[in-house]
């Protein structure tokens, strides 16, 4: 993920204010750990946003967020399977998440436990915009309900 895309994630979860005034002071590798300097006056609003959007953050592979040196766990295990997350995001009709997961390498043709691809899930759910995004991202829609009777 590029820093520009990371800024989009910050804006999505915490609003433009945080993304515009935060400063990245450290990036560690292994698991990606990014340290931001943010005014303490925003601490409670950040905690509220994290608590309200933890399921979404989990689907994007965010394991934990620390505010004022207090860790807030987001995902219980480090088994980031972006294909599974993509299926969940499509079912939840989360346009932003689907976009980010495709950029992170999720496969729009991967199958869920029912044998359905993300494109098929979007089609069944009537999520037209998400279906189009998945098709543009390399997804294929196979129509299994074609009537062959004449």
pLDDT of residue 134: 96
Can you name the CATH fold of 82-136? 1.25.40
- Pure H helices in the chain: 3-21, 43-52, 54-59, 82-91, 95-103, 118-125, 128-136
Share of residues in the chain with pLDDT > 70 (%): 79
Higher pLDDT, 56 or 28: 56
Average pLDDT over residues 103-110: 92
Average pLDDT over residues 126-133: 96
Tell me what pLDDT residue 70 has: 82
Mean pLDDT of 92-110: 94
Helices (H) and strands (E) in the chain, counts: 7, 4
Domain ranges of the chain: 3-73, 82-136
The tokens describing 26, both together, are 């450290």
Q: What is the mean pLDDT of the chain?
A: 82
Query: Who has greater pLDDT, 51 or 35?
Result: 51
């Amino acid at each position: 993920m590029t820093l520009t895309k990371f800024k989009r994630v910050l804006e999505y979860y915490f609003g433009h204010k945080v993304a515009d005034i935060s400063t990245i002071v450290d990036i560690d590798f292994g698991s990606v750990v990014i340290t931001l300097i943010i005014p303490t006056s925003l601490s409670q609003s950040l905690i509220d946003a994290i608590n309200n959007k933890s399921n979404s953050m989990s689907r994007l592979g965010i394991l934990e967020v620390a505010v004022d040196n207090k860790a807030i766990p987001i995902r219980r295990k480090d088994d980031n399977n972006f294909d599974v997350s993509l299926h969940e995001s499509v079912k939840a009709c989360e346009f932003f998440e689907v976009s980010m997961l495709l950029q992170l390498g999720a496969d729009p043709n991967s199958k869920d436990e029912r044998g359905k691809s993300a494109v098929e899930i979007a089609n069944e759910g009537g999520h037209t915009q998400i279906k189009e995004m998945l098709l543009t991202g390399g997804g294929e829609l196979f129509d299994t309900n074609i009537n062959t009777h004449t």
